[in-house]
Structure 1
Amino acid sequence: MIKTMKAMVLTGHGGMERYEWHEDWPMPEPGPMEALVKVGACGLNNTDVNTRSGWYSKTVNEATTGGAYEAVAEEDPSWGGRPVTFPRIQGADAVGVVVAVGEGGDPALIGKRVMGDAWQRDWSDPLNREKAGYFGSEFDGGFAEYTKTDVRNLAVIESDLTDAELATFTCSYTTAEGMLTKAKVTSSDTVLVTGASGGVGGALVQLARRRGARVIAMASESKHGDVAKLGPDLILPRAPENLRAALDGEKVTVVADIVGGPYWPRVIDILEPGGRYTCSGAIAGPIVEFDLRTFYLRDLTFTGSTVTPHQVFCDVVGYIERGEIRPALAATYPLKELPKAQQAFIDKKHVGNIVVVP
């Protein structure tokens, strides 16, 4: 019986030097109601970058850079709400094959290809956000040859897509679907998506279109050709000087934002009265200028979105199996080259998701 595996291990907050490559890391053993999964591919996300760098700490107020910060409060919460302990194997978007199950797990899962809900729940109280943690953050994830998770988090996936293609979905698409669900987006809405060339931004474009909404995507002009493949109705530059003029009469009822930063007041200013703003990121900076008069005089609704119900993950799996959404796979790298892959992700030279393969 194999006892060790290859893994990329994060040893603490900081730069890329905090990653260590191991070829003899202890293989996880599935406990009660857990499954051991041989990882076929695992996607990269901003969560991996921000957890490694310590950006979630309240001592940090700048844009996501991917670099180390001078001061990180270790007691500050991670994306999942609790401090990260080290060493940690990151990677939320693991796709693979079940090779063993612990006590209480269904043996029929063995040999099945699966995707996992990244939110790890207390299944005696599954809707309790205080008891939820994130795969690859509070729990070891998929940047390794093997990983384990609760069998109730897994979905058997029936799809012709490759493991690498499937590994683009979990974090980005459940995050995006959670945002759109909270904002109650319907076919009567016009949705403005910031950062549309990224993983979550591209997912927002596809999922809002799936709901029948009109979609306006914002992205760097060099990436407009690739963003167009996702199907938005209109594409604007990343940060037009006069956003209202650039919209040319479009009436935006929902802003789905993952960017934040100094441009933030402009996307709020163009919301129609009664409009909704939903957010699950602030890559351009978490501190924004907020005019409360715009908020209350226009009867706006703001929602933050992090912990998504398990049903959202199940819905996304269904969309994949029915071909209603498609992967945006930008590049694959060997797991051993994770720092190189993450730097490419930070540099944003690609449109879509980057995946590592053990």
Structure 2
Amino acid sequence: MTPDVSSTAAAEAAIPARMTGVVLTGHGGLDRLAYRDDLPVPRPGPGEVLIRVAAAGVNNTDINTRIGWYSKQVTSGTEGGALGGFQSAQDADATWSGTAMAFPRIQGADCCGRIVAVGEGVDPGRIGERVIVRNMLRTYVDYRPFQCWTFGSECDGGFAQYAKAPARETYGVVCDWSDVELASMPCAYSTAEGMLHRAKVGRGEHVLITGASGGVGSAAIQLAKRRGATVTAVAGRDKAAQLLALGADRVLPRGESIVGALGAETVDVVLDVAAGPSFGELLDVLRKGGRYAVAGAIAGPIVELDVRTLYLKDLTFFGCTFQDDAVFENLVSYIERGEIRPLVARTYPLKDIAEAQKDFLAKGTIGKLVLVIPE
């Protein structure tokens, strides 16, 4: 269909010069988040689209970046500096990529909205599409293997009324979900699917998932069950009933002995976002030839590894940040076919981002917390 040039021009003319959003002014506490209504609206460059953002999820990576947790000078779990930041963090390596961040930065790894303008080389017919953005962007690094930018870290993200993104990594989604529900997907669900993809989880395998009540963990339960796996989830005792309803076959209370509950060498794959003191037990429950996939260390990044366990059991380790193109494409297809469902615990207006992050850290809910962007 030939685009309506007049309607396209009208849509772009309606875009304001200034917008409301939250900027991160530096690494540190919640006071580093500034809610402003005078931010310049970005303009899409060649190959980019401009999105009117409707909703944006809250993720651990947003908090880790704010507090400087990725700096190798920080050796404790996220909670140690989650509200006030880490004084030991060094700006030079305080992002997940190990390089300094440019401030001010609009964070927000999750984004759902509608395309309102396109840059050179992008089909104007895409204006009006409801979209989500792949949070691990490859366009800006020329699709080099194992390299990417995080939306909201190396470039501005979804915590504002408008955001720009590469057209080829901005996916139209046709479904009956709300904007808030779609905004709960990109970061958490692609992280979980990326771990399952890298570890090649298959039907009938026993998968152990740590941090199972969080965004990534609860996503991993659904996605592992979709593959026909048996799932054991590790979470707070008060979350057990909800996780069983979500699809977990068994829930182990966090802090109790995993080996004591399951026995040694009973698990095919571990999907870990916690690390910390339980790391040794995670390897002990893996069968010979088992696979360990990790995409977080909220309980602490420094662990003790007995290398004999690694090589005598022929284990395979997967560090999971980079995602193959198929991961996000598959995620969109699962949504459109109704094979997974959203799990939104609570919503907040964007101006209440500090409250949302406090609630996120309190871990009192299962599923995603989502910010609603003002109209």
User: What is the TM-score normalised by the length of structure 2?
Assistant: 0.92
Q: Does 1:73 align with 2:73?
A: no
User: Which runs of no fewer than 5 residues in structure 2 stay unpaired?
Assistant: 1-12
Aligned to 2:132: 115
AA paired with 1:28? P
Aligned to 1:222: 238
- Report the Cα distance in structure 2 between the residues aligned to 1:170 and 1:310, rounded to whole angstroms: 13
Higher normalized helix content (fraction of residues): 2
After the TM superposition, which residues 141-290 of structure 1 pair with which residues of structure 2 at under 5 Å, given as runs?
Answer: 141-241=157-257, 243-247=258-262, 251-290=266-305
- Contact map agreement 2:274 2:299 (CA 8 A) in 1: yes
- Contact map agreement 2:139 2:166 (CA 8 A) in 1: no
Alpha-carbon deviation of 1:181?
Answer: 1.0
- Report the Cα distance in structure 1 between the residues aligned to 2:299 and 2:128, rounded to whole angstroms: 42
Q: Does 1:327 align with 2:334?
A: no
Alpha-carbon deviation of 1:347?
Answer: 0.9
- Report the Cα distance in structure 1 between the residues aligned to 2:43 and 2:186, rounded to whole angstroms: 23
Q: Does 1:19 align with 2:29?
A: no
**Matched residue of 1:35: which SS?**
strand
Percent of aligned pairs sharing the same letter: 49
Aligned to 1:297: 312
- Contact map agreement 1:127 1:309 (CA 8 A) in 2: no
- Report the Cα distance in structure 2 between the residues aligned to 1:13 and 1:124, rounded to whole angstroms: 24
Alpha-carbon deviation of 1:332?
Answer: 0.3
Aligned to 2:77: 63
Query: Which ranges of 4 or more aligned residues in structure 1 deviate by more than 6 Å?
Result: none
- Contact map agreement 1:80 1:137 (CA 8 A) in 2: no
- Report the Cα distance in structure 1 between the residues aligned to 2:229 and 2:151, rounded to whole angstroms: 31
Q: Does 1:135 align with 2:151?
A: yes
Distance of aligned partners of 1:110 and 1:254 in 2 relative to their CA distance in 1, 3 Å threshold: same
- Report the Cα distance in structure 2 between the residues aligned to 1:169 and 1:221, rounded to whole angstroms: 25
Query: Alpha carbon RMSD of aligned pairs, Å?
Result: 1.4
- Report the Cα distance in structure 2 between the residues aligned to 1:265 and 1:335, rounded to whole angstroms: 40
- Report the Cα distance in structure 2 between the residues aligned to 1:44 and 1:170, rounded to whole angstroms: 11
- Report the Cα distance in structure 1 between the residues aligned to 2:116 and 2:20, rounded to whole angstroms: 16
Alpha-carbon deviation of 1:4?
Answer: 0.2
- Contact map agreement 2:265 2:286 (CA 8 A) in 1: no
- Contact map agreement 2:263 2:285 (CA 8 A) in 1: no
- Report the Cα distance in structure 1 between the residues aligned to 2:264 and 2:177, rounded to whole angstroms: 40
Give CA deviations for 1:143-195 in whole Å, capped at 9, x if unaligned.
Answer: 00110001011111001000101111100111111111111110131000011
- Contact map agreement 1:82 1:138 (CA 8 A) in 2: no
After the TM superposition, which residues 16-95 of structure 1 pair with which residues of structure 2 at under 5 Å, given as runs?
Answer: 16-65=30-79, 66-67=82-83, 68-76=85-93, 78-95=95-112
User: What is the TM-score normalised by the length of structure 1?
Assistant: 0.97
Distance of aligned partners of 1:273 and 1:124 in 2 relative to their CA distance in 1, 3 Å threshold: closer
**Matched residue of 2:288: which SS?**
strand
- Contact map agreement 1:81 1:133 (CA 8 A) in 2: no
- Report the Cα distance in structure 1 between the residues aligned to 2:186 and 2:152, rounded to whole angstroms: 13
Alpha-carbon deviation of 1:258?
Answer: 0.4
Alpha-carbon deviation of 1:79?
Answer: 2.0
- Report the Cα distance in structure 2 between the residues aligned to 1:249 and 1:73, rounded to whole angstroms: 40
Aligned to 2:330: 315
AA paired with 1:69? F
User: Which runs of no fewer than 5 residues in structure 1 stay unpaired?
Assistant: none
- Contact map agreement 1:117 1:310 (CA 8 A) in 2: no
